[in-house]
């Protein structure tokens, strides 16, 4: 399946040891309350140079994202009370789709994820000591108990279940009215990815499946999911939505599809791929 993951970062590579301080040629991505600072204008842009003249203390928590070519990129969290710089605005990342280059959008997603990781790991969860960057990999170390803390990644599975010419779709309780999606859920400790696919289908729709096949994956940094996309075939049972998370589950044929999630999501890519395989 040909799927371009929206938040797959191609151009940024980490180098170690990390640069000492923020080099003068560094590019900054500013994040405030989960939103990104953009330069307004006919071609909105995210990358900022240090000519923006931010208060020096903001740089202390700068998060090294990696080098893009010879240039180091950093994410900087800006407090809510910091005035919006001249000619700038803060925008949610989803609102920037199609407005800024795809790779910049992916890096913006990375910046959000790394800022979230930094906020959640400033102190050791085991002993409470302030942590420090590991310096040799994307991790932090507790100087007291030597615990190493990596960015959290939460793997989740999403699956399109086929039954002859039909595909299984579900409506969550919180879904947009009329919209259907695919069965999905987080992988639990102690289970394989395949087991998670079987379990989610059984929990959400009450049926059993077979022939699970991996299709594509997608990082989704809100804040830390990694979606793993599958197709599978119906094996047995009657559809019975759980009634708690899932309001409705139904088989659809290609000519009578419900309202679907937007293009460019892995959900939609799995559905479009199935439709194209008519
Ligand atoms: Zn510790």
CA distances from 88 to 39, 45, 71, 83, 268 (A): 5, 10, 22, 10, 33
At residue 4, the pLDDT reads: 84
pTM of the model: 0.88
Q: What is the pLDDT of residues 107-139, one digit of tens each?
A: 999 999 999 999 999 999 999 999 999 988 999
Q: How far is the CA of 151 from the centre of ligand 1 (A)?
A: 16
Nearest Cα to 157, choosing from 210, 200, 211, 209? 200
At residue 116, the pLDDT reads: 93
Q: How far is the CA of 118 from the centre of ligand 1 (A)?
A: 16
Ligand 1 ion local residues (Cβ < 5 A): 124, 126-127, 129, 142, 144-145, 147
CA distances from 145 to 13, 123, 130, 152 (A): 30, 12, 11, 19
CA distances from 193 to 2, 160, 200, 212, 227 (A): 21, 15, 11, 10, 11
Residue 76 near residue 61 (C-beta atoms within 8 A) = yes
Q: How confident is the model at residue 278 (pLDDT cuts 50, 70, 90)?
A: confident
Q: What is the pLDDT of residues 78-113, one digit of tens each?
A: 999 888 888 999 999 989 988 999 999 999 999 999
Q: How far is the CA of 25 from the centre of ligand 1 (A)?
A: 35
Q: How far is the CA of 135 from the centre of ligand 1 (A)?
A: 17
Q: How far is the CA of 112 from the centre of ligand 1 (A)?
A: 25
How many other CB atoms sit within 10 Å of the CB of residue 13? 11
Q: How far is the CA of 140 from the centre of ligand 1 (A)?
A: 11
Look over the chain and give the mean of its residue pLDDT values, rounded to a whole number: 93
List phi, psi (to 5°) of 193.
-60, -45
Distance CA(201)–CA(183), nearest Å, equals: 6
Alpha-carbon radius of gyration of the chain: 22
At residue 35, the pLDDT reads: 94
At residue 203, the pLDDT reads: 94
Q: How far is the CA of 178 from the centre of ligand 1 (A)?
A: 49
| Topology of the domain comprising 12-118 | Nucleoside Triphosphate Pyrophosphohydrolase (3.90.79)
Top CATH class, 154-276: alpha beta
How many other CB atoms sit within 10 Å of the CB of residue 274? 17
At residue 208, the pLDDT reads: 98
Q: Is 229's pLDDT higher than 80?
A: yes
Q: Is 8's pLDDT higher than 80?
A: yes
CA distances from 273 to 3, 180, 228, 269 (A): 9, 16, 15, 6
At residue 197, the pLDDT reads: 98
Helix (H) or strand (E) holding 102: helix 102-120
Beta strands in the chain (DSSP E): 12-13, 27-32, 35-39, 63-68, 71-77, 88-91, 132-133, 140-141, 148-149, 154-163, 166-172, 183-186, 208-220, 225-236, 246-253
Distance CA(236)–CA(202), nearest Å, equals: 10
In angstroms, the first-to-last Cα distance of the chain is 14
Q: How far is the CA of 116 from the centre of ligand 1 (A)?
A: 19
Q: How far is the CA of 120 from the centre of ligand 1 (A)?
A: 14
Q: How far is the CA of 148 from the centre of ligand 1 (A)?
A: 9
Q: What is the pLDDT of residues 160-219, one digit of tens each?
A: 999 999 999 999 988 888 899 999 999 999 999 999 999 999 999 999 999 999 999 999
At residue 94, the pLDDT reads: 86
Sheet holding 35-39, edge to edge: 12-13, 63-68, 71-77, 27-32, 35-39, 88-91
For residues 276 and 4, which has the higher predicted lDDT (pLDDT)?
276
Q: How far is the CA of 123 from the centre of ligand 1 (A)?
A: 8
Q: What is the pLDDT of residues 15-68, one digit of tens each?
A: 998 888 888 899 999 999 999 999 988 888 998 887 777 788 888 889 999 999
Mean pLDDT of 263-270: 90
Q: How far is the CA of 139 from the centre of ligand 1 (A)?
A: 14
Beta strands in 10-127 (DSSP E): 12-13, 27-32, 35-39, 63-68, 71-77, 88-91
Q: How far is the CA of 131 from the centre of ligand 1 (A)?
A: 8
Mean pLDDT of 214-233: 94
Distance CA(109)–CA(9), nearest Å, equals: 9
Q: How far is the CA of 190 from the centre of ligand 1 (A)?
A: 25
Q: How far is the CA of 125 from the centre of ligand 1 (A)?
A: 7
Q: How far is the CA of 141 from the centre of ligand 1 (A)?
A: 8
Q: How far is the CA of 40 from the centre of ligand 1 (A)?
A: 43
At residue 31, the pLDDT reads: 94
Domain boundaries along the sequence of the chain: 12-118, 121-151, 154-276
């Amino acid at each position: 399946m040909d799927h371009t993951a929206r938040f797959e970062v191609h151009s940024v590579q980490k180098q170690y040891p990390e640069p000492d301080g923020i080099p003068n040629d560094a590019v900054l991505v500013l994040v405030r309350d989960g939103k990104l600072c953009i330069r307004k204008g006919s071609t909105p842009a995210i990358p900022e140079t240090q000519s923006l003249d931010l208060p020096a203390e903001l740089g202390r928590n700068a998060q090294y994202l990696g080098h893009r070519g010879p240039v180091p990129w950093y994410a900087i969290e800006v407090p809510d009370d910091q005035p919006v710089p001249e000619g700038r605005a803060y925008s949610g990342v989803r609102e920037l789709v199609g407005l800024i280059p795809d790779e910049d959008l992916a890096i913006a997603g990375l910046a959000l994820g790394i800022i979230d990781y930094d906020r959640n790991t400033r102190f050791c969860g085991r002993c409470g000591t302030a942590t420090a960057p590991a310096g040799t990999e994307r991790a932090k170390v507790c100087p007291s108990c030597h615990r190493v803390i990596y960015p959290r990644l939460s793997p989740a599975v999403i699956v399109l279940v086929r039954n002859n010419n039909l595909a299984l779709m579900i409506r969550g309780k919180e879904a947009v009215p009329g919209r259907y999606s695919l069965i999905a859920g987080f992988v639990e400790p102690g289970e394989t990815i395949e087991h998670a696919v079987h379990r989610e289908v059984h929990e959400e729709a009450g049926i059993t499946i077979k022939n699970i096949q991996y299709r594509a994956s997608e990082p989704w940094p809100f804040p830390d999911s990694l979606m793993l996309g599958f197709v599978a075939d119906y094996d047995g049972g009657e559809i019975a939505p759980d009634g708690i998370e899932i309001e409705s589950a139904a088989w659809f044929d290609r000519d009578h599809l419900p309202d679907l999630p937007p293009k460019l999501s892995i959900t939609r890519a799995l559905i479009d791929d199935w439709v194209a395989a008519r």
